Amino acid sequence: MKKSAVFNGLPYEPISEYFANLQTPCYVIDEKRLTENAQILFSVMENTGCKILLAQKAFSNYDFYPLLSQYLSGTEASGLYEARLGAEEMPSGEVHVFCAAYRDDEFEELLRYADHIVFNSINQLKKYGLKAKEHGKSIGLRINPECSTQEGHEIYDPCAKGSRLGVTRSVWDREMTEDILSLIDGLHFHTLCEQDSDALEITFKSFEQNFGDVLPRVKWLNMGGGHHITKEGYDIKRLESLILHAQKKWDLCVYLEPGEAVALNAGYLISQVLDIVENGDIKIAILDTSAACHMPDVIEMPYTPPLLGTNQAEEGAYSYRLAGPTCLSGDIIGEYSFDKPLQIGDLLVFGDMAIYTTCKNNTFNGMPLPNIYRKNIDGTFTQLSHFGYQDFKMRLGDYRG
């Protein structure tokens, strides 16, 4: 079978020898692929003058922040801890933060780390905006353009009916005052999920229709994330044209904050077959990795992750359902087929596992957290973490007063 572009840079055979010294399950983050993604994003910045931030919600492996800081403008955070991580580990870059609602007991500390603070409501802007402005922060307000371009992923659609994210025009007209508007330096919208620039163009036209009268009064516009800029076939020219249009027409700085695009196809999850069982005509390979614990988007999205050397079940002679070892009946990774039968002890390599994995995984059932390795430019591996029993136990109560 042909090897997917997701796995470029990995030897097709013998994969077991290539990863023989890594204890499974483990994540491997590919420095070369990460660098290639960052270079693509940097070229967009060079061609347009925009600024691109790392959205840490998708990729927060800070061992790579020194590398990414050579190409990106800073980090985007979803709250206090991510803001602190960005400030500490990428100190040369800007720190932006957006949260659906800030807490009284955290906001003072947040002011120590964030450069830009984006509010989700006019009410929160009234409550915290003046204090943030007095501390020299750039203030933004998230807007809901009320323009959905997604299909089938309402859980990831900030423009879905009843969304809690962003201020609609009707709420703006009802609640906005001149005093509050004078605090705002920029506007923010985030509506996309794994989409091309045509979806952004549709969204931006709707945004201009609804809030074009406000744009002359702000200094910057954050177009959020969900831009699949580093995916093969993405229309970068259209993106650059849109950015240049916005900056020229409205005399402002454009920010983008992709997470997936930074680390797309830059990581793998290495797993081993523990057992093979049968139920009716279905053969099930039980692995030492779990969809529920180690790749939760497989269940939440849902999707079937790419697997080195195989395709979907209809493609080959030997079909298996791959599943995790937890007690969750639905801990299923997907249906796959192989050119030869699986054997207990075989190594399997899942692709595109740098994003929404290490930052979302969990220890349900006492499942160990997979260790993380860097695949260096020269093909060698460096271990970046060492997780064990204490990492499971401490999450359940280690307070000593």
What are 156-166's pLDDT values in tens digits? Answer: 888 898 999 99
List pLDDT tens digits, range 91-109: 999 999 999 999 999 999 9
Residue 57 lies inside a defined structural domain of this protein = yes
- pLDDT at residue 266, as a whole number: 97
Residue 12 lies inside a defined structural domain of this protein = yes
Residue 401 lies inside a defined structural domain of this protein = no
Residue 39 lies inside a defined structural domain of this protein = no
Domain's final residue, options 246, 263, 280:
263
CATH number, residue 348 = 2.40.37.10
pTM metric for this prediction = 0.95
pLDDT at 1 over 50: no
- DSSP annotation string for 201-224: HHHHHHHHHHHTTTGGG-SEEE--
203 plus 296 within the same structural domain: no
Residue 40 lies inside a defined structural domain of this protein = no
Residue 42 lies inside a defined structural domain of this protein = no
60 plus 146 within the same structural domain: yes
Residues 6+ apart with CB under 8 A from 119: 102, 125, 128, 129, 139, 140, 141, 142
pLDDT at 313 over 70: no
Residue 34 lies inside a defined structural domain of this protein = no
185 plus 289 within the same structural domain: no
191 plus 242 within the same structural domain: yes
Backbone angles phi, psi at 189, to 5 degrees: -135, 145
71 plus 145 within the same structural domain: yes
Cis peptide before 25 (omega within 30 of 0): yes
Domain's final residue, options 229, 263, 297:
263
388 plus 274 within the same structural domain: yes
Lowest mean pLDDT among 74-78, 86-90, 253-257, 334-338: 334-338
Domain's final residue, options 238, 263, 288:
263
Residue ranges making up the domain that contains 133: 49-263
CATH number, residue 194 = 3.20.20.10
65 plus 198 within the same structural domain: yes
229 plus 310 within the same structural domain: no
Q: What is the mean pLDDT of the chain?
A: 94
- pLDDT at residue 136, as a whole number: 98
